Amino acid sequence: MTTLVLTSTELLKTKRMSIGTISHGRKKVAEGRWVPVKRAISKKDTTGLTYALKDAVRNKESVIANLDHEKCFVFDKAGKVVFEKTGKENRIEFSNEEMDKLQGTEIFTHNHPGGGSFSPEDIQFTWLRQIKEIRAVCTDYEYSAKITKEWKAGVWNAFVDRMSLIYGQVKVGFWREIDEGSITADQARIEHWHKVWSKMADVTPAFEYTREKRK
């Protein structure tokens, strides 16, 4: 259950109103009327993340979701942006020094203008820097992946081998579907890595992957 903290002015306003609904830090007090709701910033939701962090990530993702080039933001536990970088149409390059800054950070989010899920290098990057969660957003979807245990090189290499096999299976399967006319090449392009990571999450302990439709 969420605990909400209202300022005295807001409390006075809401006392006069009927019970409303709460969404994205605002309280609907009447048709067309909203008042801001202040949450305790250290309060955590069921995933263990603070609301401050989730709100900060959501705000930045709404800024970058529709860009025609890649851009990333990196957050600490409190929701503070500790690093950001603008990339090119389909890539972001990090120097050795920048890679050092990303070690052990909480959330790395970026956009994929093409609309697809994570590249293998996204996941490799997460493993190399021990980032708690990597996210990618586009117009229609938001993707999330986590490696919840510390993987030694051998575990990672086995993960890559398994991924390359599933990659081939998915590609052959989608080509068959394209030939049969059940999907288009564009649909296959968007779904390709999503299908690979979904299958990987099914067979890999400590690898979590989700895709959600953007609201």
- Helix or strand or coil: residue 82? strand
Q: Indicate the pairing of strand 81-86 with strand 71-75.
A: antiparallel
- Measured from the CB atom, the residue of 80 and 91 that comes closer to other proteins is 91
Q: Which is nearer to other proteins, 63 or 160 (CB)?
A: 160
Of 33 and 91, which has the nearer Cβ to other proteins? 91
CB of 99 to other proteins, least distance (A): 5
* Structure tokens given for 168: 């081939």
Minimum distance, C-beta of residue 26 to other proteins, in the bound complex (Å): 34
Q: How far is the CB of 210 from other proteins (least distance, A)?
A: 19
Q: Kindly state the tokens that stand for 124.
A: 């490799």
119 by Cβ neighbours in 10 Å (0-12 / 13-18 / 19+) ranks as middle
Query: Could you list the residues that contact other proteins (CB under 8 A)?
Result: 70, 87, 90-96, 98-99, 110, 112, 114, 116, 119-122, 124-125, 128, 153, 156-157, 160, 164-165, 167-169, 171-175, 178, 185-186, 188-190, 192-193
Instruction: Measure CA of the first residue to CA of the last residue in the chain; give whole Å.
Output: 22
